[in-house]
Amino acid sequence: MPVSFRCLALVMMLSTAALFAADPDAVVFNDPAKAGVDYELQGEYAGTVKTDEEELKIGVQIIALGDGNFRSVGFIGGLPGDGWSRGDKSHTSEGKLQDGQLRFAAKEKKITAQVKDGSIVVYGGDTKVAEFTKVHRQSPTLGAKPPQGATILFDGSSTDAWESGEIIDGKWLGAQNVATKEKFGDHQLHIEFRTPFMPASRGQGRGNSGVYLQSRYEVQVLDSFGLEGKNNECGGIYSIAEPIVNMCFPPLTWQTYDVDFTAARYDDSGEKVKNARATVRHNGVVIHDDLELTHGTPGRHAEGPEPDGLFLQNHGNPVVFQNVWIVKK
């Protein structure tokens, strides 16, 4: 293995920290400008590494874990959804912010990585072997305008379409266990969401909410940036399917779900004869492709033949939504 690629792999191949229960006293940041240096260092980085055979595209996600602790995930082939797919090689390492610099190290091989000034610089001893630049990806459907005939559920001006809806900071819809007044059958949904920055929290305590299609099938909302991408993490259909790829962006970044939903079918006696199906795009990337929803998910309503409303779950975290609309099929 060429030295540059070997050095990169050694930096990334440290053990991954386990998930812990949410910290009830964790500090929550809703404003990127006030989130501090840990938030500034967290994010996505991209670059290339030359080998004897080829030039490899590499993506790196740095996740803040609180108190100056960090985890990095290196993706061989590019960032998730931009070259890297589930099952491709990835490597993790742990880092620490000390004396104003974030360092990741494999001490026995004298391989280090320093994060500063919007880049990751990897060294083998005193020799620079790779550099990755911070990138800020944006969903291609962010701010998508509703087509003619769409049902506008939230445009920032009012919560008239919702039962007990609340506007946050004068412009966003809060995740307060709110359901639409109108009920829907087959439809296409566009919704944008933002999770808070909660670096000391873990697992289901870190930016948790949920988008319930027809109040029956939950598409998870969670700050699972840099995680594996399970069915109870962002983009997962709880208890049914994990996303094809974890497309979760860093917290305090606006993200999108675009869903094509077909309701379950029932006969005249009320027996289900065909399961619901959904295609879900997370930040523009297909994460569920015509997925069969074999059963309803817990937390709201049971399956049934009648239309039902869109439901946004409150899980105690200040998740907010914007630009929500539906096109009936």
**Where residue 266 sits, what CATH number does that domain have?**
2.60.120.560
Among residues 243, 233, 223, 225, which one has the least CA distance to residue 291? 243
Boundary residue ending a domain (82, 105, 135): 135
Residues 262 and 289 in one domain: yes
pTM value?
A: 0.90
CA pair distance 282, 235, nearest whole angstrom: 7
Residues 101 and 201 in one domain: no
pLDDT the model gives residue 170: 93
Residues 313 and 174 in one domain: yes
Residue type, 164: S
Structural domain includes residue 85: yes
Residues 166 and 288 in one domain: yes
pLDDT the model gives residue 20: 32
Structural domain includes residue 141: no
Among residues 46, 49, 70, which one has the least CA distance to residue 60? 46
Residues 173 and 271 in one domain: yes
Residues 84 and 213 in one domain: no
Boundary residue ending a domain (73, 107, 135): 135
CA pair distance 118, 41, nearest whole angstrom: 8
pLDDT the model gives residue 126: 85
**Where residue 70 sits, what CATH number does that domain have?**
2.40.128
Residues 59 and 115 in one domain: yes
CA pair distance 319, 251, nearest whole angstrom: 10
Full residue range of the structural domain in which residue 190 is found = 151-328
Structural domain includes residue 143: no
pLDDT the model gives residue 50: 82
pLDDT tens per residue across span 5-15: 444 443 433 22
Helix (H) or strand (E) holding 258: strand 255-262
Residues 169 and 68 in one domain: no
Determine how many CB atoms are found less than 10 A away from the CB of residue 298.
Answer: 9
Structural domain includes residue 23: yes
Residues 123 and 175 in one domain: no
Boundary residue ending a domain (102, 135, 168): 135
**Residues in the chain with pLDDT < 50?**
1-23
Residues 124 and 165 in one domain: no
pLDDT tens per residue across span 207-247: 899 999 999 999 999 999 999 999 999 999 999 999 999 99
CA pair distance 50, 126, nearest whole angstrom: 18
Q: Which residues contact 231 (CB under 8 A, 6 or more apart)?
A: 220, 237, 238, 239, 240, 241, 242
Structural domain includes residue 140: no
pLDDT the model gives residue 286: 98
Structural domain includes residue 92: yes
Residues 86 and 194 in one domain: no
How many domains is the chain built from? 2
pLDDT the model gives residue 11: 41
CA pair distance 91, 74, nearest whole angstrom: 5
CA pair distance 60, 285, nearest whole angstrom: 18
Pairing of strands 111-116, 172-174: unpaired
Residues 292 and 161 in one domain: yes
CA pair distance 288, 152, nearest whole angstrom: 24
Token pair for 186: 């087959």
Helix (H, G, I), strand (E, B) or coil at 263: coil
